[in-house]
Amino acid sequence: MPLRSLENSSSMSSTFLLSGIPGLEHMHTWISIPLCFVYTVSILGNCTIIFIVKTEPSLHEPMYLFLSMLALTDLGLSLCTLPTVLGIFWVGARDIGHDACFAQLFFIHCLSFLESSVLLSMAFDRFVAICRPLHYASILTNTVIGRIGLASLGRSVALIIPLPFMLKRFPYCGSPVLSHSYCLHQEVMKLACADIRANSIYGMFVIVSTVGIDSLLILFSYALILRTVLSIASRAERLKALNTCVSHVCAVLLFYTPMIGLSVIHRFGKQAPHLVQVILGFVYLLFPPLMNPIVYSVKTKQIRDRVTHAFCF
């Protein structure tokens, strides 16, 4: 009996092992070069957006204030994953303690759902600007925008804060290897040597009550926007109105497509190739922070002009 207890205790793991790209371990140093480039562009791009909106009084409008919230959220997501991702690809540092892993997944999920809320807020901004233009300034005041931001943050924190505590109560034995270069709740809970039904149900509830509801409300907002735009007599005015939504639509697709795909694969796609999960995981967390500043800088004239002026002078 003591021998069995000793064997069980030796199989208990105090750390998890993060993973890089399977089958390409010998190329991790080379892969780290484009990853460093992605992180550098993401961090500089989002910092530039935040700085421009903060320092340019003419951009202190609802659309750009929401954009600065999006950039701040993307910056946080990049900084959350940077230490573990580059640690693996640079020096092969795969070990991560349980508490560090739980803290990382808290920030990753919290910021992800916060970004979903910000994208919904931006859809509401476009709805008011196009469907209720005369009331735009009176509806989206700075006070209202601040309250929307605080409510979005509060919702994300309130829904995600139970996850680390739910995971911390589990024993972890067997293989401690995670599929990604960072920690996610839906993956960590599968390593537990216990009944994880409560975690699985709560995780699904969080997804539905955040991403599910937000995406439906965004679709509903754009249905109303499209109805209003189609009622405009002038073709030029219709195109002008739709053009103000292009950047936001791109941001929505960049965020929701890989996020939903990764969630579906983790929960239902057990037969999906492991490499697909890894690549989709990188796209989910690295692509939106990289592309959002680029999309808004290219498609939004006011941001493009300020960025050009900042780098030229």
Calpha distance 20→87 (Å, rounded): 10
What are the backbone dihedrals phi and psi of residue 12, each rounded to the nearest 5 degrees, phi first? Answer: -70, 135
Q: What gap in Å lies between CA 49 and CA 69, rounded to an integer?
A: 10
Sequence-separated (6 or more) residues with CB below 8 Å from residue 148: 121
Q: Which two tokens stand for residue 143?
A: 């006070």
Residues 6 or more apart from 87 whose CB is under 8 A from it? 93
Would you say how long the chain is, in residues? 313
Rounded Cα distance between 65 and 80, Å, is 23
Strands 95-97 and 15-17: antiparallel
Instruction: Tokens for 182, please give them.
Output: 């960072």
Q: What is the pTM assigned to this prediction?
A: 0.90
- pLDDT 10s per residue in the chain (313 long)? 343 433 343 356 688 999 888 878 788 889 889 999 999 999 999 999 999 999 888 888 999 999 999 999 999 999 999 999 999 988 888 899 999 999 999 999 999 999 999 999 999 999 999 999 899 989 999 999 999 999 999 999 999 999 999 999 988 887 888 888 999 998 899 888 888 899 999 988 999 999 999 999 999 999 999 999 888 878 888 888 888 888 899 999 999 988 888 777 766 666 767 777 888 888 888 999 999 999 888 878 788 888 777 666 5
**What does the alpha-carbon distance between residue 8 and residue 174 come to, in Å, rounded to a whole number?**
10
Residues facing 204 on adjacent strands: none
**Nearest by Cα to 86 from 23, 22, 39, 27:** 39
Cα separation, 233 vs 224, whole angstroms:
17
What DSSP string runs through the chain?
-HHHHHHHHHHB-SEEE----TT-GGGHHHHHHHHHHHHHHHHHHHHHHHHHHHH-GGG-SHHHHHHHHHHHHHHHHHHHHHHHHHHHHHH---EEEHHHHHHHHHHHHHHHHHHHHHHHHHHHHHHHHHHSGGGHHHHS-HHHHHHHHHHHHHHHHHHHTHHHHHHHTS-BBS--B-SSSS--HHHHGGGBSS--HHHHHHHHHHHIIIIIHHHHHHHHHHHHHHHHHHT-S-HHHHHHHHHTTHHHHHHHHHHHHHHHHHHHHHHH-TTS-HHHHHHHHHHHHHHHHHHHHHHHHHH-HHHHHHHHHHHH-
Secondary structure (DSSP) of 193-205: SS--HHHHHHHHH
pLDDT at 3: 37
d(CA 89, CA 87): 6
- Write down the pLDDT at residue 56: 87
Are 297 and 41 within 8 A, CB to CB?
A: no
> Given CA atoms 99, 105, 107, 110 in this order, what sign does their dihedral have?
negative
